[in-house]
Copies of this chain bind each other. A is one copy, B any other.
Amino acid sequence: MEALKSFEELLDRFVALGQRKKVAIVCPNDDHTEYVVRRCAQENLVDLVLLFDGDESDEFREFCKGFKSITIIKCEDMAAAAREGVRIVHDGEADVLMKGSLTTDVILHAVIDKENNRGLIAPGSVMSHITLVDAPVYHKLLMFSDAAVIPNPTLDQFDSMIRYDSQISRKLGIERPKIALIHFTEKINKRYQVTTDYVELINRASRGEYGDIALAGPMDVKTACDAESAAIKKIGSEVVGDADVLIMPDLEASNTFYKTVSYFGKARMAGLVTGTIAPVVVASRADSAESKFYSLILACLAS
């Protein structure tokens, strides 16, 4: 199967699979999350459990009552809504957790739930984040990690990112994901720990630890994505100019990539938290309604 080219194809794939998924949305009070609810309901894409904290509008509450695919649960406040959303996913009553208008801190506190050990962290697993990019310039969707959770990945954390990104790539239909390890040059240099970590990760890949993937690097973002630039630099590899996934060296680079590709590159973005027992969507305040919608679809495919 060919790699997906756009978010529209992502939605088509989800619909074609015909799997009914249920998504719990905590505090869908902002315009963008309301859009996601309305669109999912009107196009009958998923079942929804909405955790209301009393701050939603009358009009929106009435709208929701008109759909069998929507279940409403009234909660006392934001924190209670977050806890109830997490409980529902923890108990297997929903496949995906999504954040509405509350802050990321509040929902992640419930997701992690150190006090009661009833959160969504899978035992022994590394929590991370993937972003899926639909960029006008690029010939297919592009995934990258980690623009949200891990500031300075260790070798083990890089290892987990590669596993998550490979798993989700396969769910999007890519049998042998091409993964680029990003750094500012192609040189391996002990002064830069990431470059020696990358060597070890490539060794692990060649031993088959990640299944069928093509892993290469270090290389920069342009070499990973632009066949012409890669040709000028005379770097030959299955990955260069055709990456499905970028593993970014740290959060400064990853956040810069996120913000630059979305603003300067007019790309659409979707994302989710990985390493949890179910995908968690924690889109940022500045993300568009469309971005939140496709994050939900991506999470349903990944679940």
A9 interface residue, CB < 8 Å from B?
no
Selected contact of A257 from candidates B137, B151, B249, B260, CB within 8 Å: B260
Report which A residues bind B (CB closer than 8 A).
Answer: 135, 137-138, 151, 182-184, 191-192, 220-223, 225-226, 229, 232-233, 248-257, 259-267, 285-286
B263 touches A225 (CB 8 A): yes
Are B260 and A137 closer than 8 Å at their CB atoms?
no
* Choice from B233, B248, B286 contacting A222 with Cβ under 8 Å: B286
Residue from A232, A249, A264 whose CB has the most chain B CB atoms within 10 Å: A264
For A183, the chain B residues whose CB sits under 8 A away are 252
Q: How far is the CB of A157 from chain B (nearest CB, A)?
A: 16
User: Could you write out 24 A-B pairs with CB less than 8 Å apart?
Assistant: A137-B263, A138-B264, A151-B192, A183-B252, A184-B252, A184-B254, A184-B255, A184-B256, A220-B255, A221-B256, A221-B259, A221-B263, A222-B260, A226-B263, A233-B285, A233-B286, A250-B252, A252-B252, A253-B253, A256-B260, A257-B260, A260-B260, A260-B261, A264-B267
B-side contacts of A286, CB under 8 Å = 222, 229, 232-233
What is the CA–CA distance of A222 and B287 in the complex, to the nearest angstrom?
Answer: 11
- The interface residues of chain B lying within 8 Å CB-to-CB of A135 are 264
